[in-house]
């Protein structure tokens, strides 16, 4: 009798998940915990040039913690607008191998060539998302999607409560 082989995650992802869990546990509060998560992702994964978390606020996404070479002008995005807004509206991870070929892309940085956006769910509803930009074409794949979906699950309890 054969057993299906469990799909393995890259060791770097497993290690990072453990570090992220520890960072969240040690943080002073939800806001500092979420900031530590984006800092760790950017520090540990060179293709992740800019990492940010957007939180749902009514019909908009509002930029929360981020880490990158510079701030984005897109601090508030209507749900349904751009790649971030599309992911929030559909509840599906968006992987864009070439942002210049996707008419939904809201240009932030000249260096950005690819993007992945992963919704954050709480109780079945989208409450935010993880947005990662890369300076290489086709920088993200299904492995990144699965990893960032696990990160999103860890971020869900950290969302701001009004």
1 in a domain, yes or no? Answer: no
Arithmetic mean of pLDDT, 112-136: 96
35 in a domain, yes or no? Answer: yes
**Predicted local confidence at residue 110, as pLDDT:** 77
**Predicted local confidence at residue 127, as pLDDT:** 97
20 in a domain, yes or no? Answer: yes
- Inter-helix orientation angle 142-155/30-44, to 10°: 160
**Predicted local confidence at residue 6, as pLDDT:** 43
6 in a domain, yes or no? Answer: no
* CA atoms of 53 and 58, how far apart (whole Å): 16
76 in a domain, yes or no? Answer: yes
| Residues 74-110: b if buried by 16+ CB within 10 A, e if exposed | beebebebbbbbbbbeeeebbbbbebeeeeebeebbe
Q: Which uninterrupted H or E stretch holds 14?
A: helix 11-26
Q: Pick from 54, 70, 32: which is nearest to 118 by CA?
A: 54
**Predicted local confidence at residue 159, as pLDDT:** 93
2 in a domain, yes or no? Answer: no
Q: How many domains does the chain have?
A: 1
pLDDT digits (tens, 9 = 90+) for 30-41: 999 999 999 999
Report residue 99 as tokens.
Answer: 């942002």
- The pLDDT confidence band at residue 2, using thresholds 50, 70 and 90, is very low
Mean of the per-residue pLDDT values of the chain: 91
48 in a domain, yes or no? Answer: yes
* CA atoms of 152 and 157, how far apart (whole Å): 10
pLDDT digits (tens, 9 = 90+) for 48-82: 999 999 999 999 999 999 999 998 999 999 999 99
Q: What residues make up the domain containing 108?
A: 11-158
pTM for the structure as a whole: 0.91
DSSP string for residues in 27-78: SSSHHHHHHHHHHHHHHH-TT--EEEEEEEETTEEEEEEEESSS--S-SEEE
- The pLDDT confidence band at residue 111, using thresholds 50, 70 and 90, is confident
4 in a domain, yes or no? Answer: no
CATH number at 43 reads: 3.30.450.40
Arithmetic mean of pLDDT, 14-35: 93
């Amino acid at each position: 009798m054969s057993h299906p082989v469990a799909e393995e995650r890259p060791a770097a992802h497993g290690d990072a998940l453990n570090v992220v869990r520890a960072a969240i546990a040690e943080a002073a509060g939800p806001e500092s915990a979420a900031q530590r998560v984006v800092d760790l992702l950017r520090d540990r994964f060179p293709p992740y040039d800019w990492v940010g978390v957007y939180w749902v606020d009514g019909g908009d996404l509002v930029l929360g913690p981020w880490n990158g070479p510079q701030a984005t002008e897109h601090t508030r995005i209507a749900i349904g607008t751009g790649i971030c807004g599309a992911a929030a509206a559909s509840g599906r991870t968006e992987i864009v191998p070439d942002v210049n070929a996707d008419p939904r892309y809201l240009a932030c940085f000249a260096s950005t060539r690819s993007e992945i956006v992963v919704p954050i769910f709480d109780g079945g509803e989208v409450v935010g998302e993880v947005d990662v930009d890369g300076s290489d074409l086709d920088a993200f794949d299904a492995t990144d999607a699965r990893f960032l979906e696990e990160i999103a699950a860890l971020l869900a309890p950290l969302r701001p409560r009004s």
